A = this chain, B = another copy of it.
């Protein structure tokens, strides 16, 4: 029996295991789910051990636990592969938009619907299953493997840099693959050349001490909600260009050959609009929609809160208005530099009559750009070509995986993203799902990757 036969034979069990994993509401953002985070970590330890991994253990951090494990019997002349993923999930709200409850995984149309199905519980399970398939059929593995699964990815991994530094020796490897990632399409693989960095912040404007009667005080004092609107509007021109002084300074602009490579990948704006439901694709002038999404920095308001939120009206002049913001950064922007530019902008543009407070959240990360000729990326591309029967597109993405910057900084390795989710799977939204055929294909890719890498000699 080959590893691939084993994967075929055990797929029903793997699916049941995935459903059990998805039923754990491991929402890292919500402190009420702390016990569920611990349960999820224990589940991962048990699953790694069942697959034949050794030293599977929960590692405490200042925040949510990490799970580490390894299998290191391929020999010192074989490469060591570090595999990354995460077992925490986004909050499921708004619950009323889910067809079936987010933590009651539901199988329909060859997909499993649940919060975390696509991001990243399905993905992180895939390499564990590939390990099991090798060990169960051949009793060995052609490469040394280490696993590092975290529980803070959806909140920006605040405790993870310290944890990686503390375990840098245990995590030392020759290459890193992230099992948290996307393929281009079910029939078209990709290699991700660049990810955006991220900077998260909150701006709070305060006016009166408490909410005031809008009739008795309107016009007399500044309305913090309107002041926030004015401040935010000062950050972005109507055409979509960010107007914060210095914001674009460090950006490595797309070279003509980069733009040509992007233009070669099919793009259908009508399909993009149908996917998102947006009425138009609008943004920074001078760049195509895909160039903006992939290679231009952004500033997005993630949330606005002020005054009366409920039904009907309440005629208050709010005491406070808050905006949550994320900037997505491209090489060679740095979160600290952009944060300072925003602080300076807020200082210069806060309307009179309110005070402003800018809080930079933990969990910022640098953008990543894969260097030309990266060896692990070349191996992954070769396996993807074998399994899919098509060469991967060389793509970029607007998302951020902060942990990859940490790996680069601490372990000196640029990770290759090798996941099997797709961007139409409602990641971070209601009705998240994972395609089961892609879940299966990913197992083949990792099983084959272990074989191929086992045929190489340690650099």
Contact = CB atoms under 8 A, between A and B. Distances in A.
B309 A216 contact: no
Contacts of A280: 221-222, 352-353
Interface string A325-358: 0101000000000000000000000011111000
Contacts of A231: 229
Nearest to A307: B303
A382 interface: no
A419 to B, nearest CB: 13
A144 interface: no
A226 B300 contact: yes
A379 B75 CA distance: 105
A296 interface: yes
Given A289-B220, A301-B318, A303-B309, A328 B278 contact: no
Contact of A220 (B155, B283, B353): B283
Given A221-B278, A301-B307, A430-B210, A200 B236 contact: no
B222 A232 contact: no
Number of identical protomers = 2
A321 B228 CA distance: 14
Contact of A213 (B219, B236, B292, B427): B427
A293 interface: yes
Given A276-B217, A428-B211, A429-B211, A303 B308 contact: yes
Contact of A207 (B200, B278, B308): B278
A376 interface: no
Interface in A410-439: 423, 426-430
Contacts of A398: 215-220
Interface in A50-102: 90-91, 97
Contacts of A230: 229, 232-233, 236, 238
A220 to B, nearest CB: 4
Nearest to A284: B219
Interface string A383-397: 000000000000001
Given A219-B398, A279-B207, A304 B306 contact: yes
19 contacts: A29-B314, A198-B215, A213-B428, A215-B399, A216-B423, A217-B276, A219-B398, A220-B276, A222-B280, A223-B301, A225-B232, A225-B300, A225-B323, A226-B300, A229-B231, A301-B321, A302-B313, A302-B317, A313-B363
Given A220-B292, A280-B352, A302-B317, 19 more contacts: A90-B314, A200-B313, A208-B277, A210-B426, A213-B423, A214-B302, A216-B397, A216-B399, A218-B326, A218-B328, A219-B297, A220-B276, A220-B289, A221-B276, A226-B233, A229-B323, A282-B352, A302-B318, A316-B428
